[in-house]
């Protein structure tokens, strides 16, 4: 549905025509960018009526494209798939935004240019996406957004393939011919333990409610959104003796259940237990980690506070994702299976690609062991 935004409060008097020019603006669909137009009107109400007329024409055009070609049904099925996977509302809006742009708006441009009528995704081949990429990157000037855009397109095609809206060949062609661009993530920085201790000490005094989830993510490498979604009922044993934390698949990115053991014969779990106990103390809400107002910790606020505070305290801006990177970097080489079980990482390719860092000491150790093996056979 189109959402009304409004009309500018004050008009601009045209120097040439000596008429009042009003700037009107609205969003074509949820999550899309604002559309701006200039109209000539005597009053603000007249400009508003022109806004309503333009919005009605745009909505009729989009609905016609969706209903006559079946793309409206595809959009509804895609949304149902995402809802059944319990995806966040923001994610669903992003997918809807990409779908409207790629398979509805660009389809009209493609049909007009090539003088063809596209009624189904099965009629679209690889050339469609190549042309879309050129249009998107060159005409829309959105180079920075292409990385996430392509990932969502691939995911969309997989969802729609399961619903028989597009062919299997199309999905594989797009995968092979339009590979995922290189990651634009910030390279890992090895911050010293002294600086991290200084940062945690400051956070504990300045904002103790955020200290608990930050410290938990540092110790376990768990994702920020998942950490903010834990409930007190996920902890077994209660505040007296918490034994394990059950991680529900509904709150994980990989949609798989998990268990984090909080008690063992091995030493070193005292701090993790104390964090869970502190989070449970006096907690009568539905969230394990709360903010100072007793509500769920906002993931965006966790990002913003840590980035701002770390830049002030240790002169390096980091986000909660840094704790996950650090956990994997320090522990993947020691025991990959256990480290992945603790952090919830499922893909070994991701572990080897992003977290398999080597050091001069580690390489020297391996080379020294190889030398010992070669030196064992006695010379005859």
Q: What is the pLDDT of residues 283-301, one digit of tens each?
A: 888 889 988 787 788 888 8
Q: What is the pLDDT of residues 289-344, one digit of tens each?
A: 988 787 788 888 899 999 999 999 999 999 999 999 889 888 887 888 888 889 98
Going by C-beta distance under 8 Å and a sequence separation of 6 or more, which residues neighbour residue 105? 62
In angstroms, what CA-CA distances link 230 with 79, 280, 338?
A: 26, 11, 21
Answer whether 88's CB lies under 8 Å from 71's CB: no
CA pair distance 248, 83, nearest whole angstrom: 17
Q: Nearest-CA neighbor of 43 among 62, 76, 20?
A: 20
- pLDDT of 213 reads 94
Give the pLDDT of the chain (380 residues) as one tens digit per residue.
344 467 777 788 877 777 888 888 876 654 455 777 888 888 888 888 888 888 777 666 655 544 445 777 788 888 887 877 777 777 888 888 888 878 887 888 888 888 888 877 878 888 888 787 776 666 554 445 566 777 788 888 888 888 778 888 888 888 877 766 666 666 778 888 999 999 999 999 999 889 999 999 999 999 998 999 999 999 998 888 888 899 998 888 888 888 898 877 666 688 888 999 999 988 888 889 988 787 788 888 899 999 999 999 999 999 999 999 889 888 887 888 888 889 988 888 777 766 666 656 666 766 776 665 545 555 54
CA pair distance 228, 88, nearest whole angstrom: 13
- pLDDT of 267 reads 65
- pLDDT of 66 reads 47
Q: Nearest-CA neighbor of 200 among 210, 185, 188?
A: 210
User: Whole-prediction pTM value?
Assistant: 0.63
Backbone dihedral region for residue 294 (phi beyond 0: left; psi -120 to 50: alpha; all else: beta) = left
- pLDDT of 71 reads 77
Structure tokens that stand for 240 in this block: 């007296």
- pLDDT of 145 reads 57
- pLDDT of 108 reads 81
Q: Nearest-CA neighbor of 223 among 203, 196, 253, 187?
A: 253
């Amino acid at each position: 549905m189109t959402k009304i935004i409004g009309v500018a409060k004050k008009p601009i008097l045209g120097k040439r025509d000596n008429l009042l020019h009003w700037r009107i603006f609205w969003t074509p669909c949820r999550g899309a960018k604002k559309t701006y137009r200039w109209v000539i009107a005597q009053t603000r109400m007249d400009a508003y009526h022109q806004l309503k007329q333009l919005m009605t024409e745009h909505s009729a055009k989009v609905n016609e494209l969706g209903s006559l070609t079946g793309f409206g049904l595809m959009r509804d099925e895609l949304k149902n798939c995402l809802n059944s996977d319990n995806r966040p509302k923001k994610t669903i809006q992003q997918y809807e935004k990409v779908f409207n742009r790629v398979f509805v708006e660009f389809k009209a441009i493609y049909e007009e240019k090539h003088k063809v009528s596209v009624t189904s995704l099965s009629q679209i081949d690889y050339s469609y996406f190549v042309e879309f990429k050129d249009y998107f990157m060159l005409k829309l000037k959105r180079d920075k957004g292409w990385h996430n855009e392509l990932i969502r397109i691939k995911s969309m095609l997989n969802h729609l393939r399961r619903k028989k809206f597009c062919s299997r060949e199309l999905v594989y062609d797009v995968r092979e011919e339009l590979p995922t661009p290189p990651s634009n993530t910030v390279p890992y920085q090895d911050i010293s333990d002294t600086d991290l201790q200084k940062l945690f000490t400051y956070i504990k005094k300045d904002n103790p409610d955020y200290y608990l989830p930050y410290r938990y993510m540092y110790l376990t490498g768990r994702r920020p959104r998942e950490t903010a979604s834990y409930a007190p009922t996920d902890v077994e044993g209660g505040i007296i003796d918490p034994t394990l934390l059950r991680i529900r698949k509904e709150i994980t990115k990989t949609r798989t259940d998990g268990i984090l053991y909080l008690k063992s014969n091995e030493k070193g779990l005292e701090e993790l237990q104390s964090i869970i106990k502190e989070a449970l103390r006096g907690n009568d809400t539905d969230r394990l980690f709360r903010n100072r107002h007793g509500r769920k910790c906002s993931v965006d606020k966790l990002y913003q506070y840590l980035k701002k505070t770390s830049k002030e305290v240790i002169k390096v801006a980091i986000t909660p994702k840094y704790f996950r990177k650090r956990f994997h970097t320090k522990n993947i080489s020691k025991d990959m299976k256990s480290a992945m079980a603790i952090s919830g990482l499922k893909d070994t390719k991701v572990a080897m690609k992003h977290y398999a860092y080597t050091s001069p000491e580690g390489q020297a150790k391996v080379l020294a062991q190889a030398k010992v093996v070669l030196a064992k056979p006695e010379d005859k």
